[in-house]
């Protein structure tokens, strides 16, 4: 059996479409027919070589998707053939199988425990979660990365409480999910910061009560004006070291939490005044919003099904798998919030 797949062959070059031979499933592996894949900045960083050396080339990409189980390997109990699943880079229960190798005309193509830029993907059992009935597959795709990372950064990492102030710095896909997380957590004021007005408008539609355009206004001054005592919570989702610094500076003394979600380019450093630690500010990192797929995906799915998370506004343009390079370019240029690769689209 073969599958069409977008492969990163060389850093800083467009992905290439290759027909990969699918290996026999090992224990703990599952063959999934991918329906939708998201594209996030991690793939832009990988493809552009901004995560440093890449010893896995050529390799597959993509870590957020939805699909249908087509075959299960020995020992798999979490999912059954025909079930609809979320594919996520976050680890849940089940076998943890580190990676898979495909072949294409004698060449070896590496893939991690989960990839989604392919029609059929061999996925480790623990990167799959069964989708609740009735949830739209296109929307459910966001449970793979953007939603758990963004919602979790507010709900699990910062543990924002109703009435606490919150700023989200960077309103891409994950940032807008953080805005939604702050809105359902009852944060007020809820301040969205970005360089692009269109994204700030979306943030407002999702519950932001104030916005700052970082291209026209000084962010630190704007936040201080809206929240004179300092913010309870600041979520950084830009990957820019200066924004990380701003997030920590903007939170209040004695208990303000700055959560760093953004992926900075390889080799970056952040300069911060250490006095802030003595003031009781907390600087928190997060691994995918500290979301546990088995516990949190059903919880987030209920909020989606109930309409309390308007995640459909994140879903931008759809692309065929063959248009994956345009999707990466559009994401990098900020022309689309979350590109959707629709495997059913021809082209």
Minimum separation from the CB atom of position 217 to Zn ion (A): 29
When asked if residue 237 is in the footprint of Zn ion (CB under 5 A), the reply is no
Sign of CA dihedral 65, 71, 73, 75: positive
When asked if residue 276 is in the footprint of Zn ion (CB under 5 A), the reply is no
Among the listed residues 3, 5, 42, 157, the single contact to Zn ion using CB under 5 A: 42
Per-residue mark of binding to Zn ion, 129-148 (x: CB under 5 A):
----------------x---
For the residues of 245-285, what is the DSSP string, one character each? HHHHHHBPTTT-EEEE---PPTT------THHHHTT-EEEE
When asked if residue 40 is in the footprint of Zn ion (CB under 5 A), the reply is yes
When asked if residue 327 is in the footprint of Zn ion (CB under 5 A), the reply is no
> Among 129, 122, 182, 187, which residue's Cα sits nearest to residue 151?
182
Per-residue mark of binding to Zn ion, 143-172 (x: CB under 5 A):
--x---------------------------
When asked if residue 61 is in the footprint of Zn ion (CB under 5 A), the reply is no
Minimum separation from the CB atom of position 231 to Zn ion (A): 25
When asked if residue 111 is in the footprint of Zn ion (CB under 5 A), the reply is no
Minimum separation from the CB atom of position 87 to Zn ion (A): 11
Question: Which of 30, 114 has the CB closer to Zn ion?
Answer: 114
Minimum separation from the CB atom of position 173 to Zn ion (A): 8
Contacts with 67 (C-beta within 8 Å, 6 or more apart), sequence order = 32, 33, 34, 35, 36, 84, 85, 87, 121, 137
Minimum separation from the CB atom of position 51 to Zn ion (A): 13
When asked if residue 261 is in the footprint of Zn ion (CB under 5 A), the reply is no
The owner of tokens 């269109």 is 198
When asked if residue 315 is in the footprint of Zn ion (CB under 5 A), the reply is no
Contacts with 205 (C-beta within 8 Å, 6 or more apart), sequence order = 310, 313
Question: Which of 212, 237 has the CB closer to Zn ion?
Answer: 237
When asked if residue 66 is in the footprint of Zn ion (CB under 5 A), the reply is no
Question: Which of 223, 324 has the CB closer to Zn ion?
Answer: 324
Minimum separation from the CB atom of position 179 to Zn ion (A): 17
CB atoms closer than 10 angstroms to residue 232? 20
When asked if residue 235 is in the footprint of Zn ion (CB under 5 A), the reply is no
- Residues 80-109 close enough to bind Zn ion by CB under 5 A: none
Rounded CA-CA distance 199/216 in Å is: 15
Question: Which of 62, 230 has the CB closer to Zn ion?
Answer: 62
Q: Are strands 338-342 and 315-319 parallel, antiparallel or unpaired?
A: parallel
Q: Binders of Zn ion: how many residues, by CB under 5 A?
A: 3
Backbone angles phi, psi at 128, to 5 degrees: -120, 145
Contact segment (CB under 5 A) with Zn ion among 33-41, 99-107, 229-237, 255-263 equals 33-41
Sign of CA dihedral 151, 186, 308, 293: positive
How many residues are recorded in the chain?
Answer: 347
Distances 274 to 45, 72, 286 between C-alpha atoms, Å? 29, 51, 20
> Residue 219 is inside which H or E element, if any?
helix 219-226
Question: Which of 237, 248 has the CB closer to Zn ion?
Answer: 237
Minimum separation from the CB atom of position 56 to Zn ion (A): 17
**Geometric angle at alpha carbon 266, from 264 and 267, rounded to 5°:** 105
Question: Which of 76, 146 has the CB closer to Zn ion?
Answer: 146
When asked if residue 176 is in the footprint of Zn ion (CB under 5 A), the reply is no
Question: Which of 256, 288 has the CB closer to Zn ion?
Answer: 288
Rounded CA-CA distance 55/92 in Å is: 26
Chain residues that interact with Zn ion, rule: CB under 5 A: 40, 42, 145
């Amino acid at each position: 059996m073969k599958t069409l797949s977008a492969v990163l062959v060389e850093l800083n070059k467009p992905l290439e479409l290759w027909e990969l031979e699918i290996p026999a499933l090992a224990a703990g592996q599952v063959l999934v027919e991918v329906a939708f894949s998201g594209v996030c900045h991690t793939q832009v960083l990988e493809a552009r070589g901004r995560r440093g050396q890449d010893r896995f080339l050529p390799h597959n990409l993509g870590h957020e998707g939805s699909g249908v189980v087509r075959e299960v390997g020995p020992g798999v109990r979490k999912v059954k053939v025909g079930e609809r699943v979320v594919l996520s880079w976050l680890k849940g229960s089940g076998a943890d199988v580190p990676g898979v190798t495909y072949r294409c005309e004698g060449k070896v193509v590496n893939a991690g425990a989960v990839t989604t830029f392919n029609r059929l993907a061999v996925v480790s059992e623990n990167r799959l979660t069964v989708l609740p009935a009735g949830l739209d597959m296109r929307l459910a795709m966001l449970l793979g990365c953007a939603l758990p990372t963004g919602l979790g950064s507010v709900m699990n990492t910062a543990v924002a409480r109703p009435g606490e102030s919150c700023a989200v710095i960077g309103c891409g896909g994950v940032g807008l999910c953080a805005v939604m997380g702050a809105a359902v957590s009852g944060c007020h004021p809820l301040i969205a910061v970005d360089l692009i007005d269109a994204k700030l408008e979306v943030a407002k539609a999702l519950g932001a009560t104030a916005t700052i355009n970082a291209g026209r206004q000084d962010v630190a001054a704007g936040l201080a004006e809206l929240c004179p005592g300092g913010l309870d919570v600041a979520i950084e989702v830009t990957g820019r070291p200066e924004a990380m610094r701003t997030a920590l500076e903007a939170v209040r003394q004695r208990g303000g939490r700055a959560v760093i979600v953004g992926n900075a380019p390889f080799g970056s450093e952040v300069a911060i005044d250490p006095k802030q630690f003595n003031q009781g500010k907390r600087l928190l990192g997060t691994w995918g919003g500290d979301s546990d797929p088995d516990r949190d995906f059903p919880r987030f799915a209920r909020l989606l099904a109930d309409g309390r998370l308007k995640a459909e506004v994140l879903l931008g343009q759809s692309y065929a798998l063959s248009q994956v390079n345009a999707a990466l370019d559009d994401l990098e240029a900020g022309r689309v919030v979350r590109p959707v690769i629709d495997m059913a689209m021809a082209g």
